[in-house]
Structure 1
């Protein structure tokens, strides 16, 4: 199956871009992660991820961590952790249902971006869990399409600070204030860190 489907082709023909689209697919879309792709992915501290459930309903999520939290395991596979969150498991649940995934990596300072599409697996017993403090799951993605995107509409941003909620081995992770709120605290899982009264609480998150 190619990158384009019937409706994509219809729009390409409507705007006379079929030749350009074919050239882009031929020249820059590939199914392997090369050294340049690896360097770009592993330098990122965030990405966006799109998934779909069994009924075709989409979800889009932001995932953040320290640079290198997404690992390139080989020329066809990446991996990243799922940390403690809001308990909805929309992304992970969709991956377990349909396994189809699209990732978008953006360098806002350098104004570059890359897409990676593929099939995902989710594991709560993956050996990589030992490398990610407080991670609950590991997602591995087998890449089917990897390609850069035109950067012209990327706004240039500068990093101010990284989230203190990203778990680190050398310090205790604070908990978000909303998990101590009246509407949430009584339905938290028993092992949620927010149940520990000694944990630092910070408002944002």
Structure 2
């Protein structure tokens, strides 16, 4: 069995009489190696949610999107994904540097499936996978501690209409977001920010 449950979990499991159920789920579905089924979910994904925590215990959750396959299974315990240009706050990535704790939630809204992967993350600007991801700032690798599917009953069924036009693609100039052209922010952009390039296309979304 894993050590996924802590005191708070146990208190609620006792209150609602789910400790036996929780124990069985831990025994049967929680694992720490990536199965072929897990790999299919991960490498088909074009988005996931990333939960992190700072040294004070304060949580942050962010959305990460890309082309299908932007999250790579490196080995049976490790996944990797690129970090692209964002708003410069680095809330999630800064938390990973500080605490390494990462929780990823993959959801396929068309098939109504979801999967969790929790583990420890590292960040590397010289990772060999950098060459495979145009405009990546660095690569994040997460070594899995717990992997498990979740009950799909509350997932709303949705279909993809269009992938984001801001996702970097090879041999194509990536547009910049219109908000980075605003008077309130343009004077504090980093020297190498793509928004400083007047020839770049600009899109609202």
Count of residue pairs the alignment pairs up: 204
Partner SS, residue 151 of structure 2: coil
Structure-2-length-normalised TM-score: 0.98
Shift of 1:124: 1.2
Gaps of 5+ in 1: none
Match of 1:99 in 2: 100
Shift of 1:7: 1.3
1:20 matches 2:17: no
Partner SS, residue 79 of structure 2: strand
CA distance in 2, matches of 1:22, 1:203: 48
CA distance in 2, matches of 1:89, 1:45: 21
Match of 1:115 in 2: 116
Shift of 1:170: 1.8
Shift of 1:6: 1.1
Match of 1:160 in 2: 161
Shift of 1:137: 1.0
4+ runs of 1 displaced by more than 3 Å?
none
1:186 matches 2:187: yes
Shift of 1:22: 0.3
CA offsets, 1:97-154, max 9 Å, x none? 0000100000000000000000000111111111100000100000000000000000
Match of 1:66 in 2: 67
Give the superposed CA RMSD.
0.7
Structure-1-length-normalised TM-score: 0.98
